[in-house]
Amino acid sequence: MIVTVPTADVPDAKPLAVRVSDHLTFAVCRLEGTYYAFDSRCPHRGGQLADGEVVGELLVCPLHHFKFSLKTGRCVMPRHLKLRSFPVREESGELRIELEVEQDAPRPV
């Protein structure tokens, strides 16, 4: 499955929330012309990262303010937490985000 998003919809310094299904919303971010797509649900306690902020190279969760690298998805502290990320391709002003069907299944928090 491919989810498409116009690049112009991704704001500066904020993620864009893209609802895929009842189980999955993407937090789509831009950093220096590169786009990233993550599961919006924070691996800490399920905060919605799409409601957070992009500060430099970091995506900041609005719930407890944990910071995640946009480039690696890894949490600055604690390091064992990592975002679920999805491949993004940019074509003619549009982002194409790849999603395997099984990645859209409900997950426990």
Residues that bind ligand FES (CB under 6 A): 42, 44-47, 61, 63-64, 66
Which two three-digit tokens encode residue 75?
A: 């949490």
As measured in angstroms, the least distance from the Cβ of 81 to ligand FES is: 8
Q: Which is nearer to ligand FES, 53 or 90 (CB)?
A: 53
As measured in angstroms, the least distance from the Cβ of 66 to ligand FES is: 3
Question: Cα–Cα distances in Å, from 60 out to 2, 21, 48, 107?
Answer: 26, 23, 10, 22
3-state helix, strand, coil in the chain (%, to 5): 10, 45, 50
Q: Which is nearer to ligand FES, 19 or 64 (CB)?
A: 64
